[in-house]
Chain A
């Protein structure tokens, strides 16, 4: 781990680093591509909504030797509707029957119990009316909207509106990707999924906020110096908190992975699985977006400010002069001040010097 510690130190000092901001167009491109794919999946394939959203009944039997085929026939005969039957790891059967009303499902339970030769009170039932899912979804949307407004206001106050906007875009990005993955892979959407999705809200922002916090500190008094442009500062802050971002993501993903393993491996299906699956996808997207999308976006927005423009002009002019005097590798890319080739980024103010010749 000392190697990682060393990398951490180098990242912190800016000796190594990846120029996230400079290469942002690549990441924007990738994100746009994924988002378009996600939306296309959503549009063409749609989401596989679970019975909680359509209404119907879900029966879980105790471990039984009845075959899936047999159970399917029994369930369809008993209910008069199509049934989906899964056999879970421990031998229990999970039988989903759509189109059943809460009141019409009760007799089915009894009949099913007789057919499958298990006592009726040993069968778990979940009966869901058709409007329940809509209600949950409605509330989720309301929650989403309220949360977004609040968080934008909060971030605008705690940081600035540009960061709020960037965080919001990153958030929408994460949610779109997660939903898109669900559409494309065809995972079933249940209330558990919605819970997971809503949690991503908090978590994706949590990650972004930590990065922004470093960014805010790095960007303090930026106009009083003429060494780095805002993009460079942003990139450096990003690299300095990179180890933390990685650690955070790993530590957040590990328990979720535990949930996923148990939910998927032992219970086979259900709440644990649904929550952890959407969390897993969302967290991964969240970690990606806070580094590759949110911060570069802030830098983009910031560079539009007149002050920052002036600063950049000043710095570029100075660097041009230096380059001339040193006959260094003057570059003609005015957009981004730091070359990525060498993987070197700016350093902390007041600390070590920039590596020679890596600057324009």
Chain B
């Protein structure tokens, strides 16, 4: 509150009203111009106004991992979810964290919300399954036929350890890290043999024996599996995503994985899960100094080690491709190393990792793909019809509120209301343009609570004018003429406005930081409008008042419709005042 002191030293100084107004004009022109230039002339609308589905997911605390919910994991989760949603071919969806442990997924209208929920909400599961058959990704011409291995795919059965980014979504736009250079993963034990033990050499590349690949079609379940496998088209992202759906970990299943060259897709028949994500105790991306490459080290739990040893012992005796095991994540075969020796305790996945991707995969594996388990907290589906209804209602409510305020101001402040209305207009234009610009800039979306916040803010903004006007009127009641009154009133009004706006801003900021969901949108608008209120009062209302008081007769002379007419304000003739002096004993206090 240092400002008022300065003001008091020069109570009559009118400042440079022209300069402030010019600055304000430039700011407004820049905002409006910027808005049109950016092409976003309307604020981005939230799901509740535009229609669509909004899903709130909350990370669940898991026993034994008290610190699992942290920024890194939340960001990883957001990344995975984003890729999943985008894998559906949905554009303009957004996934963002909110608060410490929430993720909001907004999917615009026209999307299958159920599908979106299925993909986004489920925690991706990690399984190690023996490979029973592998073939190229396209559906087989004859569904009844047993899957025939594709020569092109069999030549190199070194499934790639792909960039973990593919993991969740198996997005067709695989990052360059999973290219033909992918060396399948070599799985070693902890002994760090100089050469990765299970060498996926050309020797294993023989075409899988068609006779033994497909499980014998004996029972309905197997028949169903065969049919599904034959029909599966791994080149179709949607099918890829759904490939393993409906199969339990204990069942034989099908899945897709990127072929080692990173350009096409292979499909697999996979045996029941031998190990799962929970058997991995820890995984981390590390740099192998000897081989100068990034890899992902996995450490199994005790039970996991036993299972892994058993599985590898079994697999090493098999022929390719049945000596491979698939690392299946979210139903997708991430990697399918072949095994040539018994392994336990530790394993590593190598491939064309870079630091980031290795660490990300390590992180993902440590927690079983999605780093955290998420639970759906809210799912809101708003039809476009209701959205536009709500938007309309909000706008009507705002209009009604504004009209009421305007009527009140005009009736009460008369000519002064002109200043107030212009200021409200300026404030409104700035709020609107900034909201429109914040859409593309920071992803701000106007939702219903934000509209409410803006409407409530009309009151706060108008109050600043009221504080100032009342101060001016008080000065006039002190017997001052308008020009000095306008200047003398300012320092006092300014302090009041700053103090009260600060409190308002404080509440908005606290609300914004600590709350989630709808409350945030409200707090944001409230904070924004409070800030703009200060700007408008300082750079517009006050200079305008100064100008009007000095340049116009209407205000300057206190016309009776100006709202500043001394008579109407009850300024009494000096005579009457002095007459009432009755106790002249006290000297006037300082």
Chain A interfacial positions (CB closer than 8 Å to B): 1-2, 4-10, 12-13, 52, 60, 62, 90, 102-103, 105-106, 121-129, 131-132, 135-136, 139-140, 142-143, 146-147, 150-151, 154-155, 158, 191-192, 194-195, 198-199, 201-203, 205-207, 209-210, 213-214, 217, 221, 224-227, 240-241, 243-244, 247-248, 250-259, 261-263, 266-267, 270-272, 275-276, 279, 322, 349-356, 359
On chain B, the residues within 8 Å of A198 by CB distance are: 507, 511, 515, 519, 523
Q: Which residues of A have CB within 8 Å of B568?
A: 1-2, 5-6
Distance of A123 Cα from B571 Cα, bound (Å): 63
Extra contacts, 17 of them, besides A8-B470, A263-B397, A271-B448 (Cβ < 8 A), are: A10-B570, A12-B477, A125-B379, A125-B380, A126-B380, A136-B519, A147-B511, A158-B499, A205-B507, A209-B499, A221-B589, A226-B586, A241-B470, A244-B466, A252-B456, A255-B397, A349-B588
Tell me the bound Cα distance from A275 to B405 in angstroms: 19
> Which residues between 413 and 457 of chain B lie within 8 Å of chain A, taking CB atoms?
414, 448-449, 452-453, 455-456
- Does B385 touch A at the CB level, under 8 Å? yes
B473-A206 in contact (CB<8A): no
Q: Which of A2, A127, A139, A276 contacts B379 (CB 8 A)?
A: A127
Decide if B463 is an interface residue (CB 8 Å cutoff).
yes
CB–CB A252/B377 < 8 A: no
Give the A-B pair count, Cβ closer than 8 A.
301
CB pair B519 A194 closer than 8 Å = yes
Contact flags B480-511 to A (C-beta < 8 A → 1, else 0): 00000000000010011001111110111011
B518 near A271 with CB under 8 A, answer yes
In whole Å, how far is B584's beta carbon from the nearest beta carbon of chain A? Answer: 7
- Selected interface stretch from B124-132, B297-305, B313-321, B388-396: B388-396
- The reply to whether the CB of B459 lies closer than 8 angstroms to some CB of chain A is yes
Given the known inter-chain contacts A9-B571, A201-B507, please indicate yes or no for A352 contacting B448, CB distance below 8 A: no
Closest-CB distance, B425 to chain A (whole angstroms):
16
A-B contacts, 11 listed (Cβ < 8 Å): A9-B569, A122-B383, A129-B58, A129-B378, A210-B463, A210-B499, A251-B462, A252-B463, A255-B405, A271-B390, A271-B449
Interface residues, chain B, with chain A CB atoms under 8 Å away: 1, 48, 56, 58, 99, 102, 114, 117, 375-383, 385-386, 389-390, 393-394, 396-402, 404-405, 408-409, 411-412, 414, 448-449, 452-453, 455-456, 458-460, 462-463, 466-467, 470, 473-474, 477-478, 492, 495-496, 499-504, 506-508, 510-511, 513-519, 522-523, 526, 565, 567-572, 577, 580-586, 588-590
Shortest CB distance A346–B (Å): 12
By the criterion CB–CB under 8 Å, are A132 and B56 in contact?
Answer: yes
Q: What residues of chain B lie closer than 8 Å to A123, measured between beta carbons?
A: 381, 383
User: In the complex, what distance in Å separates the CA atom of A191 from the CA atom of B515?
Assistant: 11
**B386 and A60 within 8 A (CB):** yes
Contacts of B474 in A (CB 8 A): 12, 240
Rounded to whole Å, the gap between the CB of B119 and the closest CB of chain A is 14
With a cutoff of 8 Å between Cβ atoms, the chain A residues found around residue B378 in the complex are 52, 102, 126-129, 132
- Which residue in A5, A226, A272 is a CB contact (below 8 Å) of B394? A272
- In the assembled complex, the Cα of A111 lies from the Cα of B386 at a distance in Å of 21
| Contact yes or no, B385 A122, CB < 8 A | yes
- Chain A residues closer than 8 Å to B399, beta-carbon distance: 258
Residue of A nearest to B587 (CB): A225
Give Cα A221 to B132, complex, Å.
Answer: 92
- Say yes or no: A202 contacts B504, CB within 8 Å: yes
A336 to B356, CA, bound (A): 74
Give bound CA distance, A2 to B466, whole Å: 16
Q: How far is the CA of A207 from the CA of B500 in the complex (A)?
A: 8
B56–chain A nearest beta-carbon distance, Å: 7
A102-B377 contact in complex given A1-B412, A226-B586, C-beta closer than 8 Å: yes
**Cross-chain contact A8 with B518 (CB below 8 angstroms):** no
Closest 3 CB pairs of A and B: A9-B570, A255-B401, A202-B507
| A110, closest chain B residue (CB) | B114
Query: Are A9 and B519 touching (Cβ within 8 A)?
Result: no
Residue of A151, A252, A257, A351 touching B506 (CB-CB under 8 A)? A151
Known: A226-B586, A254-B408, A259-B397. A106 touches B114 (CB 8 A): yes
Residues of A within 8 A of B385 (CB): 62, 122
| Given known A-B contacts A126-B380, A135-B377, A247-B412, A256 and B401 have beta carbons under 8 A apart | yes
Interface pair B452/A102, CB less than 8 Å apart: no
**Complex Cα gap A226–B501 (Å):** 34
